[in-house]
Amino acid sequence: MPELKTSKRWYLEFREKFRKGELKSEEDDREEGSEDESKKLDPDKKATRRGYLGSYVRRLWPHWKMVLVLTFLAIAVSTLEIIQPLFIRYIFDDILLSEQEPIAKIWHLNQIGLLFLGLVIATRILGIFRSWNQRLLNERVILTLRRALFDRLLRLPLDKLSDMKIGGIISRLTDDINKTTGLLQMAVISPGVAVLRLLIAMVILFVINWRLALTALAVIPPIMLLSMIAIRRIRPIYRAIRKNVSRVDGRVGEAFQGIRAVRAFGGEHREEREFTIGHHATTRMRMFAARREIIVWSTWGFIIALNSVVVTWAGGYWYIQGQAKIGDIVAFQVYVLYLLNPIWQIVESLTELQRSLASMERVFEVLESPIDKPDQPNAIQAPKEVDTFQFENVWFAYNEGTEVIRDINLTVEGGTVVALVGKSGAGKTTVTDLVARFYDPTRGRITLNGLNIKDYRLDSYRELLGVVQQEVFLFDGTVFENIAYANRDATLAEVQAAAVQANAHEFIVDLPDGYESIIGERGVKLSGGQRQRLSIARALLANPRILILDEATSNLDTESEQLIQQSMTELLRDRTTFVIAHRLSTITHADMIVVIDDGQIVETGTHNSLMHKDGTYADMVRRQHDSVSLI
């Protein structure tokens, strides 16, 4: 969001872009789900879109019966509506203005009136049935696509999810899915039915009176041209408005996520001002669009009224000449509206179709993306126990050509504790990410009991893991739900046992509702140490055979850390554990200490052997001891 730009200046810049036509080429439209519909697609893009359309049709295929029913109902309702003015024409010309006796006119009028009423009721009933089934189909398609999309998002590679960002993920699951479900309606049913209504109405008009028909139809070309031009001019304004709102709302999210920093640095006034300026600018932009919409709709109303006047005027002239009837003129007044409504539906469908296609691309781009680390064809179940865990010439790079792990060779015996130490950015967390298979090596391999971990089914391999990360994440729910996330079938006794092992039980029972206490989004109602102990309890409840502790005690005070250390022997028994520790005093009893520097292993051994070696590790211990002494 622009820094403290006044809303007037912001608005003037937007208006200048609109005047120059620059709103149609915003580069970040794609990320916000509102791509430039006027952009021409290259051949590869068209091929991709056709492929996505094929995927969309395949996913819609299970509902083909309902689609046929909806199409039939749409045609039936349109046909019944389009013939209703003929009853009006008949009542005027063949009953009211006929030379029949009054009693015969009344009897005849009652018959036609009842038939007309029955036709109207039948049309409304079919319309209600069609609307209900259309809504039902939309909801079913929404549910099917949203579940499939959410499932695929959960399984995408982490780097792809990072590129999409939270806003992109949410927009795909909400706005894009909603727009995609209307694709069938806008691409096929609505324009098809509108064209059918238009053709039927035109045929009827020419059959009734070709002179009046030509008069009434003369309005169609200019009004279609007006509509197309107006929509193409107004739509970029709303894209810019959505983008502006997205920026403002994004800043709001950042402000509340960093509310401590906002208050610590007295930023409340600044955030309030930016919020006000952003929405004030948005209001100006909305009014800018509203002025143009009012002109469009007023022009529409004027053309409709003008057409009505011309039809009445010309019809009266031809009635006097004996070339038209009163019923013709009355029916034509109704048919004018029946003509203009389908025209608007066609124009709107064609313009909305591009937006739906753009949303469809964003949805199916994800649905067609490969999942993260798919199982190999002959993948097997992971073992229940860990005998050996090995890194064999392992290299890894997040970005091609920039290795963060280089030629690591390491053998870890099952049931041992391995501590990874080194300066910040040395690659310690990356090593544990490779253990957890959040990423796979660029070169080399990692083996479990002699087999490449890629040979095991990913879900069964992950069942071996328990992870406590430095950045603790807790869900907005109860204490029980957060600990039991590792095992949905866990009983209260099992959850409590894990909490006791993590030295969390004592503070939990002091909460207002104990294990049923709501901890708030990301555990905001708890201290940092309390959140970390819940995270440890969650990992313990999973009873993992491979435990990863990524600076798991970094947010604990000295007393809490001592409590964890006292029970650490029991916690780590018979588990293969990888510990990343900032405080070297906490890993002195590790079975193996691995010193990593610049993505490479520079030393391995126990605490005593490494201190005796007097190398990098010993130097780190002395420097940390000296810094603590100074404090």
Is the pLDDT reported for residue 597 higher than 70? yes
Q: Which of 8-12, 91-95, 346-350, 395-399 ranks highest by mean pLDDT? A: 395-399
Band (pLDDT 50/70/90 cuts) for residue 348 is low
Least confident of 141-155, 312-326, 525-539, 558-572: 558-572
The residue type found at 386 is V
Distance (Å, whole) CA 540 – CA 567: 12
Higher pLDDT, 346 or 498: 498
Is the pLDDT reported for residue 276 higher than 70? yes
Is the pLDDT reported for residue 26 higher than 60? no
Distance from the Cα of residue 201 to its chain's centroid: 42
Strand, coil or helix: 446: strand
Distance (Å, whole) CA 270 – CA 286: 24
Distance (Å, whole) CA 321 – CA 567: 107
C-alpha to C-alpha distances, 171 to 34, 176, 365, 441, nearest whole angstrom = 10, 6, 14, 32
Higher pLDDT, 485 or 48: 485
Q: What integer pLDDT is reported at residue 559 of this predicted model?
A: 63
Higher pLDDT, 545 or 259: 545
Strand order in the sheet with 443-448: 402-413, 388-399, 443-448, 451-452
Read off φ and ψ for residue 366, nearest 5 degrees: -80, -45
Higher pLDDT, 609 or 271: 609
Is the pLDDT reported for residue 33 higher than 60? no
- Which tokens belong to 449? 């009991």
Q: What integer pLDDT is reported at residue 185 of this predicted model?
A: 64
Q: Mean of the pLDDT values across residues 397-422?
A: 89
- Contact in structure between 1 and 248 (CB atoms under 8 Å): yes
Dihedral of alpha carbons 561, 562, 563, 566, sign: positive
- Contact in structure between 52 and 101 (CB atoms under 8 Å): no
Distance (Å, whole) CA 496 – CA 486: 13
Q: How many CB atoms lie within 10 A of CB 477?
A: 17
C-alpha to C-alpha distances, 75 to 50, 78, 198, 318, 368, nearest whole angstrom = 27, 5, 12, 34, 35
Is the pLDDT reported for residue 178 higher than 90? no
Q: What integer pLDDT is reported at residue 17 of this predicted model?
A: 66
Is the pLDDT reported for residue 38 higher than 60? no
Q: What integer pLDDT is reported at residue 41 of this predicted model?
A: 43
Nearest to 2 by CA among 287, 280, 290: 280
Least confident of 104-108, 151-155, 324-328: 324-328
Is the pLDDT reported for residue 34 higher than 70? no
- Which tokens belong to 504? 């969390």
Q: What integer pLDDT is reported at residue 435 of this predicted model?
A: 92
Q: Mean of the pLDDT values across residues 103-108?
A: 86
Does this model's pTM top 0.85? My answer is: no
| Residue tagged 């229940």 (tokens) | 384
Q: Mean of the pLDDT values across residues 44-57?
A: 68
Q: Mean of the pLDDT values across residues 174-186?
A: 72
Helix (H) or strand (E) holding 562: helix 558-571
**What is the number of alpha carbons within 13 Å of residue 464 lying toward its C-beta?**
26
Is the pLDDT reported for residue 169 higher than 90? no
- Which tokens belong to 174? 């909400």
Q: Can you name the residues that pair with 403 across neighbouring β-strands?
A: 397
Is the pLDDT reported for residue 401 higher than 80? no
Band (pLDDT 50/70/90 cuts) for residue 605 is very high
Band (pLDDT 50/70/90 cuts) for residue 25 is very low
The rounded mean pLDDT for the chain is 78
Task: Give one DSSP letter per residue of 368-382, joined into a string.
Answer: TSPPSSPPPTT-BPP
**What is the separation, in whole angstroms, between the first and last Cα of the chain?**
42
Q: Mean of the pLDDT values across residues 148-152?
A: 87
- Which tokens belong to 458? 């990913």
Helix (H) or strand (E) holding 451: strand 451-452
All structural domains of the chain = 1-30+210-324 (1.20.1560.10), 41-208+352-372 (1.20.1560.10), 373-464+583-631 (3.40.50.300)
Nearest to 313 by CA among 299, 92, 305: 305
Distance (Å, whole) CA 54 – CA 361: 12
Q: 21 CB contacts (<8 Å, ≥6 apart)?
A: none
Q: pLDDT by residue (tens digit) across 297-333? A: 777 777 777 777 877 788 888 878 888 788 878 887 7
Q: How many CB atoms lie within 10 A of CB 322?
A: 7
Distance (Å, whole) CA 437 – CA 454: 9
Q: 28 CB contacts (<8 Å, ≥6 apart)?
A: 243
Q: pLDDT by residue (tens digit) across 354-375? A: 667 767 777 888 888 888 788 8
- Contact in structure between 74 and 193 (CB atoms under 8 Å): yes
C-alpha to C-alpha distances, 283 to 277, 298, 492, nearest whole angstrom = 10, 22, 53
Q: pLDDT by residue (tens digit) across 196-253? A: 777 887 888 788 888 877 877 777 777 777 766 776 677 677 767 767 776 777 677 6
Distance (Å, whole) CA 455 – CA 377: 9
The residue type found at 215 is T
Q: Mean of the pLDDT values across residues 42-64?
A: 70
Q: Mean of the pLDDT values across residues 80-88?
A: 84
β-pair type (465-468, 546-550)? parallel
Band (pLDDT 50/70/90 cuts) for residue 182 is low
Band (pLDDT 50/70/90 cuts) for residue 11 is low
Band (pLDDT 50/70/90 cuts) for residue 581 is confident
- Contact in structure between 364 and 52 (CB atoms under 8 Å): yes
- Which tokens belong to 169? 């993920």
